[in-house]
Structure 1
Amino acid sequence: MSLRATVLTLLAMLAFAGNSILCRLALKETAIDPASFTGLRLLSGALTLWFIVRLAKGDSVGKGNWISAFALFAYAAAFSLAYVQLSAATGALLLFGAVQTSMIGYSVARGERLSTMQWLGLALAIGGLIILLLPGLSAPPLDAALAMLGAGVAWGVYSLRGRGTGDATRVTAGNFIRALPFALLLSLFSWQSATLDSMGIIYALASGALASGVGYALWYAALPLLATSAAASVQLTVPVITAIGGIVLINEPLTTALVVASVTILCGIALVVLNNKKTP
């Protein structure tokens, strides 16, 4: 892997982990509500991606579609709602597991054959999610966990719809812009419970502009420089980076259940993506 690819990939993974950390910080440490966080995140992400596309391409965005935009909005809204109660690490692990499992499940449903090792990996990943959700002192609240699993499925749908659609940065910018009316409707629907403060706004804007907008642009710049296997496996670092960030920045505990579930889920998904016969 070249130095440029390494730097772009590292910055993108830090940005993706930063989304979980910023959202959890905002909803735990400030007064901002999930709907307002979602709206500000999507707005700042749309503006940032629009600016990046204009700067790099010199033309209008003009890409994306409404179904993908709704999937993007559903992901962002459920993500924010879940982080009212979930720790940064638990949320990232549930999200990552749901994204990968839903995409793998879609491929199987479409007729793709998995090897024995891939089936074992899928079973491990699902088992890890079950371990994480088992009732006990360290189990996350079920409603929040289900919200994050829903966010993961929505992001899986968004990712599947984005395959082969051309310039990924332009498409993402267009979808962020199209997601704004949905965010506005959510804000209007929940305006009576809306609360804002300066730090919450800053966290939300940073999540949209830096962790989302710049993060996606960096990742799409790195992807052409990576082998498929490297692109798939490097994403396994995001829940790990998030867990470290949660411990250091938010003083979150590292539980035994989280460690066991993390190792099980990440090893399971690694078995699936690294044993893909289509991977060069």
Structure 2
Amino acid sequence: MRLIFLTALTMCAFAANSLLTRAAVEGGHLSPAAFAIVRVASGALILAILVAVRGGTLPLLHKSRLTGAVSLTAYVAGFSLAYLTLDAGLGALILFGVTQITMFAHSALTGQTPTSRQLSGAVAAFGGLVLVLWPSGGNVTDPVGAALMVLAGIGWAAYSIAGRTATDPLAATGANFLLCLPLLIAVLLLGGIGLDGDTWGITFAVISGGLMSGLGYALWYNVLRQMQGTTAAVVQLSVPIIAIAAGALMLGETVQPVVIVAAALVVGGIGWAVTAKR
């Protein structure tokens, strides 16, 4: 029961990042650049404290830090900017689908031959993404926002792939967050994006970075030790569903029928693929 509760709490924390970003950015409480910078700074601080409490240090000079910092920058920048126009649930669905399909493609291209079940699941998930991204009369997805979230998904996939070999995921994440900060500032500020906002926006960003990301990752790593890899992959399927439901209930977002169908294809296809024996 305790494991179920902690897992559900972690998935809600991950989905909350979409809600908090959307509420702050689209609501005009904080610019996307300011939100991204405050979020990463808060996350880096919390993770550094957690690592220090354990008596460890942040491995800033590890050979994988450059890949981690660059891919994390792509994810955070794309994620924050995309929520200027995308609904929380739709953004989470695009992010999740692109991340999983990118990781699947990487595995296939690096010698891990997929089974027919994995291929059919990936095709279904990809079809769901095409459905929600394809411009049509009933689809109101903003193309710029969607492209930014696709960038975020590719960035998060690259970050996840690079982090597979980390011996201490919490310390590695803290180091990546810290090194990501100057890159993020350079990318966003040199791009001419302002830092205007109010107290509510800063509060949302601090909660997103420090609580939902920093403590959320720490909790997730603890939960991962107690479950099988396939189970961990399946439970993450709940994140876009939680975000879609919470966006409708808490932010008053309208859930289009095309999003429901796309969610069924993406989540169902990935679920079918990750539960394959191989």
Question: TM (normalized to structure 1)?
Answer: 0.94
Structure 1 counterpart of 2:83, one-letter code = Y
The answer for the alignment partner of 1:111 in structure 2 is 111
Match of 1:270 in 2: 271
Q: Helix, strand or coil: the match of 2:225?
A: helix
CA contact (8 A) 2:38 2:206 kept: yes
Q: How many residues align?
A: 274
Q: Which amino acid aligns with 1:95?
A: L
Work out whether residues 35 and 190 of structure 1, in 8 Å CA contact, stay in contact via their aligned partners in 2. no
SS at structure 1 position matched to 2:139: coil
Would you say the 8 A contact 2:77–2:188 is kept in 1? no
2:55: which partner in 1? 58
The answer to whether the 8 A contact 2:33-2:189 is kept is no
Is 1:90 equivalent to 2:90 in the alignment?
yes
Matches within 5 A, 1:39-58: 39-55=37-53, 57-58=54-55
Alpha-carbon distance in 2 for matches of 1:134, 1:61: 43
Query: For 1:269 and 1:141, how far apart are their aligned partners in 2?
Result: 24
The code of the aligned residue for 2:254 comes to P
User: Is residue 241 of structure 1 aligned with residue 245 of structure 2?
Assistant: no
| Counterpart-to-counterpart distance in 1, 2:85 and 2:19 | 13
Measure the CA separation in 1 of the matches of 2:223 and 2:194: 40
Match of 2:182 in 1: 181
| Alignment-derived partner of residue 33 in structure 2 | 35
Q: How does 1:57-76 map to 2 (within 5 A)?
A: 57-63=54-60, 65-76=65-76
| Partner AA of 1:103 in structure 2 | M
Question: What amino acid does structure 2 have at the position aligned with 1:224?
Answer: R
Picking from 11, 20, 30, the partner of 1:13 is 11
Name the CA shift for 1:276/1:147 in 2 (closer, same or farther; >3 Å).
farther
Q: Between 252-261 and 22-31, report the one with greater CA deviation.
A: 22-31
Letter of the 1:62 counterpart: P
* 1:46-77 Cα shifts (integer Å, max 9, x gaps): 0011111112x113222561221111111000
The amino acid across from 1:115 in the alignment is T
CA distance in structure 2 between the aligned counterparts of 1:28 and 1:275, rounded to whole angstroms: 39
- Once residues 138 and 34 of structure 1 are traced to their aligned partners in structure 2, the CA distance between those partners, rounded to angstroms, is 24
Shift of 1:201: 0.7
1:32 deviation in Å?
Answer: 1.3
Shift of 1:190: 4.6
Residue range with higher mean Cα deviation, 222-231 or 6-15? 6-15
Task: Quote the RMSD (CA, aligned, Å).
Answer: 1.3
Question: Which string of whole-angstrom CA distances, capped at 9 and with x for unpartnered residues, describes residues 7-58 of structure 1?
Answer: 2211110110000000000012133111111100000000011111112x11
Q: How many Å separate the matches in 2 of 1:191 and 1:199?
A: 23
SS of alignment partner, residue 261 of structure 1: helix
Mean CA deviation greater in 71-80 or 28-37 = 28-37
The offset of 1:112, in angstroms, is 1.1
Residues 35, 186 of structure 1: 8 Å contact kept: no
* Residue pair 1:117, 1:272 contacting (<8 A) in 2 also: yes
Q: CA deviation at 1:219?
A: 0.5
Partner Cα separation in structure 1 for residue 160 and residue 194 of structure 2? 32
By how many angstroms is 1:143 displaced? 1.0
Superposition deviation, residue 164 in structure 1: 1.8
CA distance in 2, matches of 1:200, 1:85: 17
Structure 1 distance, partners of 2:26, 2:114, is 41
Greater displacement, 231-240 / 139-148? 139-148
Contact 1:82 1:147 in 2 (8 A): yes
Matches within 5 A, 1:157-236: 157-190=158-191, 193-236=194-237
